C-alpha cells in the first residue's frame, strides 16, 4: 500500500473515531435534568419535576441547553468546570426571549427585502433602463459550460423550479424563454439571487451607494435565514466572532443614537449582534413610516418582556450587556412613546430604573 493511500486511510479512520466520540446517548427528561445538575445547573427557581415536564412538552434538550454558553464556568476548586450562577429557569427565560426576538426580526427582514426591491426598481428606472435588457444581461452572465459542453445556468434553473408553485407558475407561463421585465424577475428569484442582481446593477451603474447597500443586505439575509429556520440567535452572546467588519453606515448609525464607542467595538465583533444591529439599522432607514411605526410598537412590547427577569442575570455582565445593547437600539431607532413599556406610571418608572441599572451592570460586559 502506498504512503498516500495509507495516509488517506488513517485520516478516514481518525474521522470515524472522532464521529464515534461525538455520539451522545439519548437521555430521558429525568436523565437530562440529572446531567444538567452534574454541570452545576441549579433548580431553585423551578423544581426538577416542572423542569422535566418542560423538557418533555415545551422544548428539546439540545436547544434549551445551548443557552448555557452565555454563562462562565468555575475555573478551579471543588466546582471546577461547573457553571457559575446558572439556574434552569434562566435557560427557559433566554429561550423565550430568543423566540420572541426571532418573531420580531423575521418580519423586519421581509420588510427590508420588499423596500430594497422598490428602491432598486427606482434606481434602474433612473438610469434609463427599459427593464428587459438588464435582466437579459444578468442572466447571460450566469451562463457556464459543463464538462459535456452543455450550457448551464443556475439562476434559470432556480426560476424554473417555480413552475410547480401556485404563486409563480402563472408568471412563468406569461414569460417564456426567460423574457422577463425586471419587476417580474424580482418576484421569481430568491433573496440571495436578488442580492447578486443588486450587485450587478451597482457595478453596471458605477453606484457606490448601491454597492454599500448590497453589503448591508448580506447581513440582513444571513439573519433572515437563521430566523426562518428557527435557529437559536441568543445562545452565543459571548463568542461567535464576526467574519467581517460591520458596514460603516451601521456603526455610524449606532453612534448617532448614543451607543458608546466601547460597546460598538465590542458588539460589532460578535457576528450575531452585528447582524441584529444591521437589521434594525436597515429597517428604520429604508421602510415606510407606517411600517416602521407598527414594528416599533411591537419591538417596545418585546423590550418589556426582555426586562421581565433581568435580575436573573445581573451578575452576568455579558448577558446584561447584550440585553442593554438591543434595548438601546430599539429605543434609539424606534423612539415613539416610552422605549420600555406603556404601562402605568409606577410600573414604567420601575422599568426605566431597571434599564438604568442594566446599563450600569452591562458596562462590565463590554
Higher-confidence residue: 137 or 27?
137
Average pLDDT over residues 291-296: 94
pLDDT of 347 higher than 80: no
CA-nearest of 345, 304, 343 to 323 is 304
258 in helix, strand or coil? coil
272 in helix, strand or coil? helix
Question: What are the two backbone dihedrals, phi and then psi, of residue 73, each rounded to the nearest 5 degrees?
Answer: -110, 155
pLDDT of 343 higher than 50: no
Higher-confidence residue: 359 or 123?
123
pLDDT tens-place string over residues 65-94: 999 999 999 888 878 889 989 999 999 999
Burial of 231 per CB tally in 10 Å (0-12, 13-18, 19+): middle
CA-nearest of 323, 196, 21, 2 to 331 is 323
| Least confident window among 18-32, 196-210, 332-346 | 332-346
171 in helix, strand or coil? helix
> Do strands 151-152 and 144-145 pair parallel, antiparallel, or not at all (unpaired)?
antiparallel
Please, which pLDDT band fits residue 329 given cuts at 50, 70 and 90?
very high
pLDDT of the residue at 338: 45
pLDDT of 296 higher than 60: yes
pLDDT of the residue at 356: 62
pLDDT of the residue at 59: 87
Average pLDDT over residues 105-132: 97
pLDDT of the residue at 62: 86
pLDDT of 8 higher than 60: no
Cell of 319: 448577558
pTM score: 0.86
Please, which pLDDT band fits residue 32 given cuts at 50, 70 and 90?
very high
Range 209-214 contact pairs with CB under 8 angstroms and sequence separation of 24 or more: 210/120, 210/123, 212/247, 212/249, 213/116, 213/119
Q: Which residues, 6+ apart, have CB-to-CB distance to 95 below 8 Å?
A: 59, 63, 64, 67, 232
pLDDT of 308 higher than 70: yes
State the residue for C-alpha cell 426582555: 306
pLDDT of the residue at 2: 57
Q: Which residues, 6+ apart, have CB-to-CB distance to 130 below 8 Å?
A: none
Q: How far apart are CA 34 and CA 28, in angstroms?
A: 10
Q: How far apart are CA 134 and CA 204, in angstroms?
A: 9
Please, which pLDDT band fits residue 16 given cuts at 50, 70 and 90?
low
Burial of 296 per CB tally in 10 Å (0-12, 13-18, 19+): buried
Average pLDDT, the chain: 88
Burial of 299 per CB tally in 10 Å (0-12, 13-18, 19+): buried
pLDDT of 346 higher than 60: no
pLDDT of 360 higher than 70: no
Q: How far apart are CA 93 and CA 99, in angstroms?
A: 10
Q: Say how many Å lie between the first and final Cα of the chain, rounded.
A: 56
| Least confident window among 7-11, 236-240, 298-302, 319-323 | 7-11
pLDDT of the residue at 354: 59
pLDDT of the residue at 1: 53
Average pLDDT over residues 44-55: 95
pLDDT tens-place string over residues 210-238: 999 999 999 999 999 999 999 999 998 98
* 175 and 213 Cβ atoms separated by less than 8 Å: no
Question: What are the two backbone dihedrals, phi and then psi, of residue 144, each rounded to the nearest 5 degrees?
Answer: -150, 155
Amino acid at each position: 500500500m502506498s504512503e498516500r493511500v495509507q495516509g488517506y486511510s488513517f485520516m478516514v479512520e481518525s474521522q470515524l473515531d472522532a464521529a464515534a466520540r461525538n455520539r451522545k446517548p439519548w437521555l430521558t427528561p429525568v436523565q437530562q435534568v440529572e446531567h444538567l445538575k452534574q454541570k452545576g445547573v441549579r433548580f431553585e427557581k423551578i423544581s426538577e419535576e416542572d423542569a422535566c415536564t418542560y423538557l418533555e412538552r415545551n422544548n428539546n434538550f439540545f436547544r434549551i441547553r445551548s443557552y448555557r454558553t452565555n454563562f462562565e464556568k468555575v475555573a478551579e476548586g471543588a466546582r471546577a468546570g461547573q457553571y457559575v450562577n446558572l439556574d434552569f429557569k434562566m435557560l427557559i427565560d433566554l429561550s423565550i426571549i430568543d423566540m420572541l426576538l426571532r418573531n420580531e426580526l423575521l418580519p423586519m427582514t421581509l420588510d427590508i427585502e420588499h423596500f430594497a426591491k422598490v428602491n432598486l426598481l427606482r434606481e434602474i428606472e433612473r438610469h434609463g433602463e427599459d427593464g428587459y435588457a438588464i435582466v437579459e444581461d444578468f442572466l447571460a452572465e450566469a451562463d457556464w459550460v459543463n464538462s459535456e459542453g452543455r450550457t448551464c445556468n443556475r439562476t434559470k434553473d432556480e426560476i424554473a423550479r417555480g413552475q410547480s408553485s401556485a404563486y409563480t407558475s402563472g408568471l412563468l407561463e406569461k414569460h417564456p424563454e426567460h423574457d422577463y421585465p425586471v419587476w417580474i424577475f424580482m418576484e421569481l428569484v430568491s433573496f440571495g439571487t436578488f442580492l447578486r442582481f443588486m450587485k450587478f446593477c451597482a457595478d453596471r451603474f458605477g453606484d457606490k451607494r448601491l454597492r454599500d447597500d448590497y453589503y448591508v443586505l448580506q447581513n440582513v439575509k444571513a439573519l433572515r435565514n437563521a430566523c426562518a429556520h428557527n435557529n437559536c440567535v441568543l445562545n452565543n452572546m459571548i463568542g461567535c466572532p464576526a467574519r467581517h467588519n460591520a458596514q460603516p453606515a451601521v456603526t455610524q448609525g449606532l453612534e448617532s443614537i448614543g451607543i458608546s464607542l466601547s460597546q460598538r467595538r465590542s458588539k460589532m465583533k460578535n457576528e450575531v449582534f452585528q447582524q441584529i444591529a444591521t437589521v434594525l439599522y436597515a429597517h428604520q432607514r429604508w421602510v415606510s413610516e407606517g411600517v416602521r411605526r407598527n414594528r416599533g410598537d411591537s419591538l417596545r412590547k418585546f423590550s418589556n418582556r426582555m426586562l421581565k427577569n433581568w435580575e436573573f442575570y445581573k451578575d452576568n455582565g455579558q448577558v446584561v450587556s447584550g440585553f442593554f445593547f438591543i434595548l438601546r437600539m430599539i429605543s434609539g431607532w424606534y423612539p415613539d412613546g416610552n422605549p420600555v413599556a406603556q404601562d402605568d406610571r409606577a410600573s414604567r418608572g420601575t422599568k426605566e430604573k431597571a434599564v438604568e441599572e442594566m446599563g450600569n451592570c452591562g458596562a462590565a460586559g463590554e
